[in-house]
Amino acid sequence: MKKVLVMTVGSSIEPLIFSITQHKPDFVYFICSEGSKNCVDGVGTVLTDKRNNRSYRSVVAELNLKADQYAIGSIVDQDDFNDCYMGARKTLNLCQSNFPEVRGYIDYTGGTKSMCAGIVAAMLDHGEFEIGIVSGEKNDLIGVTPGTERIRRMDLSNIEFQRKLANMEKLFLQYDYAAAYLLANELSFLQVGSEQQDVITYWTTSCRGFNNWDSFQYEIALTQLNIHAKKFHKSIRVLKEIISETEQFKRVDKLGQAAEKVGFALVYDLIYNAQRRAMQQRYDDAVSRLYRATELVGQITLTHHSPPLSSGNLNWRALPDHLQTIYGLSVFDLSKEENLNTDEMQKGNSGTVNLGLMKTIDLLENLDIKGSGAVFREFKKKILAQIKHRNGSFLAHGSDPIQREEFNSFSKLVWDYTVAIEKQFNTKTSWSELFAQLPNQL
């Protein structure tokens, strides 16, 4: 692997020569102002050191560097931090572009204070260079005493830790758990103390847990968040209920078995998930989740029928007699549009029917489970009006992006709809009151 040395240049040549001699790089990048370029590749004597009464040629001349062994990066104003930072950043980018498999070193011994600060800041952005200075004994304020020089490495891992931790907190604040986890994973490679390692472990586990929750991987999320059960006990209580209700719902949906209970925690979880997408201005994603939440309200209500019903695999023979004539396959021709909207009702397996959202609401209005028929009737037209926006979006059937106002309106409707239906079941636990948005701070 090639070694590249990046150096800031001031008015001293001896530290530059010493650093290059010690590092033995394959290539050197000099960062300097117009006034100090002479020290790099000037002709003849370019500097006289009064302390040892020695005259120096340029660094290139003293070390016999060839034209293909070095390059110069210019800084216009050596006292302007922004100019120094941008100049250093440009040089480091060039270094990584020209030497992708490089072992890079930065020496900021020379140059102004602004140049030193600029290259350190640029290095922290890259994070792929070792950094140090030429140090040694000092008998005055001018510089290191000749003959006592040594390379002193600087450990910036704690600074990098704090910077990345701050960025991770910002991502978590935006509910971007996936990006926060990737940053936490980067922190794992830092050589820091045990206290910081504990912080990294905590953030890594927490980000994983909430990212899995955010991606509907509930059981994996529970395993990870249980490690910090005291911290997340409220969230874990909700998560356990979601897992329990999911299992009950699957049994009804696939096997038609009677459930002990299927509550509405799943619906509220989807609504809050949609809100997190909206906070990231991903309104099409958010509305897709709201649509699914609207479907779930109906599907969960059907599980409370005796026997339990599934809109995705409706056994019409289990319906009351007066509804069998409406939904029974024997009484209408599925090919006639006047009898069937193919998006809303389709043939299922073994003489069953698959119902879409609005047909499910129609059925629930007629079934009047737990006295909920009037509520479904009240919200039916409102839901139909709102899903027109969803149907016209890219993620459904159209090409119009969802706007924030459309999301807000749909979100409020789905919340009110879910609360109204949940009240009909007189459950001991009202998830509309106990459910809360996932944390965005640790």
Query: At 417, which amino acid appears?
Result: Y
> Does some domain include residue 416?
yes
For the beta carbon of residue 123, count every other beta carbon within 10 angstroms: 23
| 193 plus 149 within the same structural domain | no
> Does some domain include residue 225?
no
| 328 plus 388 within the same structural domain | yes
| 290 plus 370 within the same structural domain | yes
| 338 plus 413 within the same structural domain | yes
Q: What is the pLDDT, as a whole number, of residue 148?
A: 57
> Does some domain include residue 439?
no
| 254 plus 168 within the same structural domain | no
% of the chain surpassing 90 pLDDT: 53
Rounded to an integer, what distance in angstroms lies between the CA atom of residue 302 and that of residue 199? 46
CATH number for the domain spanning 133: value is 3.40.50.10770
- Identify the DSSP state of 105: E
Mean pLDDT of the 13-33 span: 92
> Does some domain include residue 137?
yes
| 195 plus 243 within the same structural domain | no
Q: What is the pLDDT, as a whole number, of residue 415?
A: 96
Q: What is the pLDDT, as a whole number, of residue 295?
A: 95
Q: How high does pLDDT run on average in the chain? A: 85
Mean pLDDT of the 75-85 span: 94
For the beta carbon of residue 418, count every other beta carbon within 10 angstroms: 23
Q: What is the pLDDT, as a whole number, of residue 313?
A: 81
Q: How long, in residues, is the chain?
A: 442
Q: What is the pLDDT, as a whole number, of residue 317?
A: 80
> Does some domain include residue 219?
no
| 285 plus 403 within the same structural domain | yes
> Does some domain include residue 227?
no
Mean pLDDT of the 270-275 span: 97
The 10s digit of each residue's pLDDT in 33-69 is: 988 998 998 888 877 776 667 788 899 999 999 999 9
Residue corresponding to tokens 């329990």: 244
> Higher pLDDT residue, 418 or 257?
418
| 327 plus 238 within the same structural domain | yes
Q: What is the pLDDT, as a whole number, of residue 149?
A: 63
% of the chain surpassing 70 pLDDT: 86
Rounded to an integer, what distance in angstroms lies between the CA atom of residue 171 and that of residue 211? 12
> Higher pLDDT residue, 75 or 156?
75
Question: How distant is the alpha carbon of residue 251 from its chain centre?
Answer: 33
Q: How many domains does the chain have?
A: 3
Mean pLDDT of the 178-188 span: 92
| 254 plus 327 within the same structural domain | yes
Domain that holds residue 252: 232-434
Q: What is the pLDDT, as a whole number, of residue 338?
A: 45
| 189 plus 271 within the same structural domain | no
Q: What is the pLDDT, as a whole number, of residue 310?
A: 85
> Does some domain include residue 18?
yes
- What is the band of 343 on the pLDDT scale with cuts at 50, 70, 90? very low
> Does some domain include residue 193?
yes
Q: What is the pLDDT, as a whole number, of residue 367?
A: 92
Q: Which helix (H) or strand (E) holds 166?
A: helix 157-173
- What is the band of 414 on the pLDDT scale with cuts at 50, 70, 90? very high
The 10s digit of each residue's pLDDT in 290-336 is: 999 999 999 999 988 888 888 888 877 888 888 877 776 433 443 34
Q: What is the pLDDT, as a whole number, of residue 429?
A: 67
| 168 plus 42 within the same structural domain | no
Q: What is the pLDDT, as a whole number, of residue 384?
A: 92
| 255 plus 329 within the same structural domain | yes
Q: Which helix (H) or strand (E) holds 104?
A: strand 102-107
Collect contacts of 127-133 with beta carbons under 8 A, ≥24 apart.
127/160, 128/96, 128/104, 129/6, 129/92, 129/104, 129/105, 130/103, 130/104, 130/105, 130/106, 131/105, 131/106, 131/107, 131/156, 132/105, 132/106, 132/107, 133/107, 133/108, 133/109
